[in-house]
Amino acid sequence: MTPKTVIPAKWPRALLLLVLAYEALGSLAGGVLLIAAPDGRYMDMPVALMRGYFDSFLLPGVILLDLGLLGVFAFIAVLRRWYFAWLLVATSLGGWIIWFIAEIVILQELHWLHAMWGLPVLLGAIASVPLFISRFPSAGSQRVLLWCGIFSSLWYVAINCFVPLYYDGYSFAGLTVSELSAIHAPTRILWVLLALPYPLLFAAFGWGVLMMPEGNRLLRITGSLVIVYAIFNLYWPPMHMRGNMPSLTDTLHICWAIATNLFMWLFMILAAAAIKGRFCSFTIIAITLHVIFGALTFTEAPNIAVNGPTPMIGTWERINIAVFMLWVVVFAGNQLRNAPSFAKELPGKLSL
């Protein structure tokens, strides 16, 4: 008997509905206020904020109002379980993502409102994956999700090579990855925008692992933790550039780094316990290297705040990152070998 594939449908649907309602109401309110006062006075925003891209807030208001209406229809479609709900959800979430990216590019600034309104959209995108799989429940869909694990690692490595090119004087050996997105860093906005696909791809991979045929409980827990890890990584409190007085955000950045590593090790251990064999040995080596190079990174970290010498901190950190990225690629490859072929349909109920 073919084992069933099980996707938890309750919490993703509830979360998706919450995000759609929140974003739709916010978009409707914002759109109405901008249309009513194209000079931005109702929202205390001068037209000069748009840096000449628009003469007034009228057109942005109309676009925002349309996004709100689209969000309302998407909410109703998910609530009523309409067949084409996936299309409305994709259009709504995609529209909001484009809106926030365009807004950040125009303003050339990251504001706390972007986190308040933008992060829920990304959260909704992660929660919407079961909806799309329920409409296209083929083994090919699952394999695409598993491939996202490999793509996530390749993407992260690529932006690590690309973004520093726009930071004059940046040293791969002596500066950390986090300094690319530090407060007032010249590459902060570029890094934040290009890094957005990483947690989305990694969350999609987590859904792919979670969709593996039931029977391996540890593997399903691993998939769930990968999704939680991706959600946690949607936002990182930024550090300050070197030589600046550390503040709460720097402390939170360190806390995020510690929590991220603990998450990594936890689902790496669970995946190794689930798969066993040579992959288990590979995971032990990977975690050992991760701890060693993490410790080497930590020894130089105190010098960042005082703008002291950190000749190898970037090298140690990047080796640390590379170890994890390689582990993800190997883990994804293992799951792809065990996943059903493209020609097969996924058994089990996948409704959202």
User: Which pLDDT does position 138 carry in this prediction?
Assistant: 74
Write out the DSSP string of 156-199.
HHHHHHHGGGGSTT--TTTS-GGGGGSBT-TTHHHHHHHHTHHH
pLDDT tens digits, the chain, 352 residues: what are they? 344 444 445 889 999 999 999 999 999 999 999 999 999 999 999 999 998 999 999 999 999 999 999 999 999 999 999 989 999 999 999 999 999 999 999 999 898 889 999 999 999 999 999 998 888 877 788 899 999 999 999 999 999 999 999 999 999 999 999 999 999 999 999 999 999 999 999 999 999 998 876 668 899 999 999 999 999 999 999 999 998 888 999 999 999 999 999 999 999 999 999 999 999 999 999 999 999 999 999 999 989 988 899 999 999 999 999 999 999 999 999 999 987 765 455 544 444 5
52: left (phi over 0), alpha (psi -120 to 50) or beta: left
- The pLDDT assigned to 6 comes to 43
Rounded Cα gap, residues 123 and 291, in angstroms:
30
Residues in the chain: 352
| Domain spans of the chain, in order of start | 1-134, 136-352
pLDDT, position 183: 94
Identify the bridge partners of residue 183 per DSSP, sorted by sequence position: 240
Amino acid 216: pLDDT: 80
- Distance from C-alpha of 220 to C-alpha of 212, rounded to nearest angstrom: 8
